[in-house]
A and B are shown apart, each in its own frame.
Chain A
Amino acid sequence: MLRLENLGCALGGGRVAALRGIDLTVEAGEFVFIAGRSGSGKSTLARCLCGLTPRIFPGRVSGRIELAGTTLDDLRPWEVVQRVGFVFQDPSTQLFAETVEEEVACGPENLGLPPSEIGKRLQWALEAAGITDLRRRRTDALSLGERQKVALASVLSLRPSVLVLDEPTSMLDEASALAILERLSRLAADEGVAVIVLEHRTRYIAPYATRLVILREGAIAYDGPAEPIRHEGFCRQFDLRHSALLEPGRAPAATPCSRAERVASAEGLSFAYRRGAPVFSDIALDVCSGAATIVSGPNGSGKTTLLKLFAGLLRPTGGRVCFSNHDPSASRAGPAAGIAFVGQEPAYLFRHRDVESEYASWQDAGDDGAVSHGLLTSLGLWDLRSRHPLSLSEGEKRRLSVAAAIAAGPRMLLLDEPSVGFDGYHLERLLQVLDDYTAKGGALLVASNDPDVLQQRWPRRCDLAGL
């Protein structure tokens, strides 16, 4: 079905060897889980498999990629998409149409299929991605998790024989993630589609994958059955996520927040976007100094909206958010000083040419002009200090934005899905850094669907499900 022979890829004008000597054969009906540390070359491999590197993304590709006996170089782009479907890491850049229905039908329309066939594929793809209820919705009104499902449906509608998915569950809640993986698994078993999933959330994938491939520094470090991923030692060896690695113990009971400890609070908080139904209503939540609060809930339940309200980026339609006896939503000048917010698109916080100066710009230099680089080292960014922030992988961008936000010394830190793109090693470091932040008296509010974050012993919870 798919064969890679001595595949190599050099990025940055040939300076960085992102892939080295990859030999891989994937048969029809296989469910291959590709794992590895952040920056190990997973996304580059996915782009090479679809021919997007070097056609769109710069890079020097060597070796041979064969699809059902035909070399990739001999296929034209629209012939490749009928064989290999690719779901990108960031779904926002993958959607073109105004409504979900048009979006999913867009690919088959481009292929010139008859309307009856487009209709059948549309229905099938919507069901396969579990989004039949979103069919008439506008794509710009969807949450990132919902967009991720739409992106998957739009690729499924092309009926490729090889499906490559770059972190398809990174923004999904547990129920949606498991449902998607279940359907992908059936697709592989029943219809012989070769499914290749690049992921960090090992606990979701482990029951479905028939084969595991681990990349390390651009080369294959392991290729075999997926069973070992259940063992802690194996995961630790390759810096993968494992529930035991991140299980810190039983969460202590939440204690009420005293007035002195309360950094921010929401009272009777309600919000509705201009063209939509209320996102949530009558929410009461205290964010306390020296404690972390987790906001959880299914996709589209309003986690991001709640964080933006706390950051003063949105105005509530009812109730109020108070920050240290000040009402940020009443201020037009911007968020109240002392709040740092790292959203799902952290790249927009970056202004500088390299990681080191970007990080330094977020903190006040000491009397001698010295800047501490402690967090860069803790989060594994010191070796990347001369890279442009926008050239980093998604996980590295998030690490940099969290490090920069903490370096600014805010009283309250708001993080929206901070663990997307994090491997086990870096997630462990991130959680340690966040624990240190709260231990020093910082107030932390985290919105996440990631089970590895949700299982932390942070006692304060706000579940938006059913609100």
Chain B
Amino acid sequence: MTVGADLGKTVRLIRRLLERAGTAASGLDPRTKVLLLVCISVATLVARGWPKLAILLALALTWTVLASVRTTQRRPRLFVWAATAASAIGLALWAGDVPVEPFVAPVVRMVVLLLAGWAFSRSTPAGELACALQRVRCPKPLVLIVVAARSLLGLLASEVRLAHEGMRIRAGCLSPSRAPWKRLKALRRVSVAFSARLLLRSDQMAAAAESRGFSRPGARSSLRAIRLRLADLVTGVACCGAAALLCLL
């Protein structure tokens, strides 16, 4: 009972610490997070050998954990579990002295890039990112693409989900044919209907964008005031230094 209570207390303490660290990490200036993402990406593509890749994997995993504990999800996402499983496999391969190149390293690199990308997108709202891009004088079309990209991805995901639901509902009402050519015909119909629907949606999105003044020339302003703090400076210097060491050594 006492051991169980102690264990529970320790888990709660670790979770609290992680949440604080996660909040601090996501509170960094978006420009710092962009720098962190670029450094990890470049180092991952350049680094050779297990130790360097393992360091990068550990870094990306830490960022992912910090980004996921801050969010209010009740259960960890499948993606995080998959990445953790992939990392465990990678560590097992390392421990088993399996040659890194040419097969294992690309997989590890991909996992690192996916983890870092997910952590970045999870901890950086599109509005903040757009504001940061404007500060570094990015062209307005690029800023608008950033603002709209996530919305478009979300819309696409929801359209795919609805199309899948539509297929399931039809299958529930009607008895689908098992003949291959009829199935192909049905698949063609689904694809055509889905494409037509996407075209319709894109028109509606364009109309909505226009009715919000997206087409106005000149700079956008931002509700959020972003500014670089000491933590940003320390993190920026540390990640640039670490990336340089990993690339050069």
Contacts and interface: CB of A to CB of B under 8 A. Distances in A.
Contact of A112 (B150, B221, B224): B221
Nearest to A164: B211
Given A115-B221, A313-B165, A349-B166, A92 B158 contact: yes
Given A78-B215, A275-B72, A351 B221 contact: no
B204 A312 contact: no
A92 B190 CA distance: 22
Contacts of B163: 348
Contact of B213 (A56, A57, A78, A390): A78
Contacts of A111: 213, 216, 221
A56 B197 contact: no
Contacts of B224: 115
Contact of B165 (A56, A81, A339, A348): A348
B213 A110 contact: yes
A77 B210 contact: yes
Interface in B113-130: 125-127
Contacts of B223: 101-102, 105, 108-109, 115, 118-119, 122
A77 B215 contact: yes
Contact of A340 (B173, B201, B216): B173
A81 B211 contact: yes
Interface in B194-249: 196-197, 200-201, 203-216, 218-225
Interface residues of B, number: 59
Nearest to B210: A77
A48 to B, nearest CB: 12
Interface in A90-131: 90, 92-99, 101-102, 105-115, 118-119, 122
B95 interface: no
Contacts of B211: 50, 52, 81, 85-86, 155
Which residue among A56, A90, A95, A341 has the maximum number of chain B CB atoms within 10 Å of its CB?
A56
A352 interface: yes
A274 B73 contact: yes
Interface string A190-203: 00000000000000
Interface of B: 71-75, 77, 125-127, 147-148, 150-151, 154-155, 158, 162-163, 165-175, 186, 189-190, 193, 196-197, 200-201, 203-216, 218-225
Given A99-B125, A102-B126, A312-B172, 16 more contacts: A57-B207, A81-B211, A94-B204, A96-B148, A96-B151, A102-B127, A140-B154, A158-B212, A275-B72, A334-B168, A334-B172, A335-B169, A340-B172, A348-B163, A351-B189, A362-B174
6 closest A-B pairs (Cβ-Cβ)?
A: A335-B172, A348-B166, A78-B216, A93-B204, A110-B213, A408-B173
